[in-house]
Structure 1
Amino acid sequence: MDKQYVIFDMDGTLVDSMPYWRKLARTYLAKKGLTRGLDELEDEVRSLTLSESALFFIRHFDLEVDAEQVISELNQIMADHYHQDIPLKPGVLPLLEELKARGVRMCVASATDLDLMEACLSRLGILPYFEFLLSCEDMGISKRDPDIYLEAALRFSADPSEIAVFEDAWHAALTAKEAGFYLVGVYEEEEKDNWDRILGLADESVFFDHPDFSEK
């Protein structure tokens, strides 16, 4: 990978947070005494932002609360994890050190709230590697929209073709690729059912347990 600009996803790419996100709907709804169809719901909300998840829960369960309250409660559940126990993925730190040594400029673009991103990356000691952080939640979009990647390109003053995007989620990988970015597919156990599709789309792929880049 010879690009001089890199956009990293955070959840499932830099940090091993996807198991916590997968359980978020179940944890939140169980606290409300709602247990119907949780397995199916986990699949439906997997690619949603917190705002989208909140609206989905309100509509699906006819909750008599507003979206802001649901978002606040979801944020608090995940905030505890981001501040305390979500780990860095193996192999990430050596990669960041290598890219920094080569003068590669890096940022993070995530669906997660900006404050939680900062808290997690700071706790794990990798925040200084990144020039800036972008949050779908703060921008009011999801990664089905390329705007978060295009905003990063604008801040880098670089063309999408000059920028590598590291993504583990199929919907985000597809968005980045269709927007003209160089795609590095990252294996994530929670997305294993989509791995073959990601491989078919990616310019390169990586298992962070074994950080050995393989060009396709």
Structure 2
Amino acid sequence: MKQKYGIFDMDGTLVDSMGYWRQLSVEYLHNKGVTEISPDILRMLRPMTLAQSTTLFADVFHLPDTPEEILSEMNNMMAVHYGRDVLLKDGIVEYLDALQRRGVALCVASATGRPLMELCLGRLGILDRFAFLLSCEEVGYGKERPDIYNIALSRLGGTPAETVVYEDAPYAIRTAKDAGYRVAAIYDEGVSETRWAEMAALADYRLEHWSQALTMIP
């Protein structure tokens, strides 16, 4: 079926930002004097929104700051990177332009908060390619549930079969696929190496570079 709608993850999909996110929790906790972080805690953090992680930090590490204060500080740390350091994935501008020429309606659905998305995508010059941005923080659930995709699609006005969801995380790929969406697995260097086979098996399309999508997705 011809693609009519596209729901894009941002971090690791549109932009090369996952290295900064991978270090954010450790950087923040180190700044607070927490030097020992168990692998179990790091695994628990992966599917969480930033807001969810702040509650975990406050509870597990008994930090004096409130979750709201922790969230504000971590957002400020990431805002520096989004406003200065983060770059677009190679080939993504050409692909977005090709989709728009075909009349495909686009949006972003990300675990990242809306102000940070606007800062990042605005600085990089692609914010106007998308009809809207939607954050898991607004929805109230991470991508372990399909709520964010379903709400995004209700605003776009299509059906899952007409829609491609673009994701770089195995759990998000699985969530979208189980909810009936067509899914493109996006390779993110430094993140996907150890799980690419799993991602490729789950997804409908496997994109190691954005230039492949121009001919691979109908």
Q: TM-score range by the shorter chain?
A: over 0.9
> What amino acid does structure 1 have at the position aligned with 2:95?
L
Which residue of the partner structure matches residue 100 of structure 1?
100
Q: How many Å separate the matches in 1 of 2:49 and 2:37? A: 20
- How big is each residue's C-alpha offset from its partner over 1:41-96, in whole Å with a ceiling of 9 and x where there is no partner? 44432221111111111122121221101111111111111111111011111111
Which residue of the partner structure matches residue 90 of structure 1?
90
Deviating 4+ runs (over 6 angstroms): none
TM-score, normalised to structure 1's length? 0.93
Which residue of the partner structure matches residue 192 of structure 2?
191
Which residue of the partner structure matches residue 127 of structure 1?
127
Q: How many Å separate the matches in 2 of 1:58 and 1:127? A: 34
SS in 2 for 1:145: coil
Deviation at 1:101, TM superposition (A): 1.2
Aligned: 1:62 with 2:62: yes
Aligned residues: 214
Deviation at 1:133, TM superposition (A): 0.7
Q: How many Å separate the matches in 1 of 2:193 and 2:73? A: 29
Which residue of the partner structure matches residue 173 of structure 2?
173
Cα RMSD after superposing both structures: 1.6
Equivalence map 1:1-216=2 (5 Å): 2-37=2-37, 41-189=41-189, 190-208=191-209, 211-213=211-213, 214=216
Task: Return 5+ residue gaps in structure 2 as ranges.
Answer: none
> What amino acid does structure 1 have at the position aligned with 2:124?
L
Deviation at 1:194, TM superposition (A): 2.1
Percent identical: 45
Deviation at 1:30, TM superposition (A): 1.1
Greater RCO between the two (CA within 8 Å, min separation 6)? 2
SS in 1 for 2:192: helix
Q: How many Å separate the matches in 2 of 1:124 and 1:42? A: 30
Kept in 2, the 8 Å contact 1:167–1:183? The answer is yes
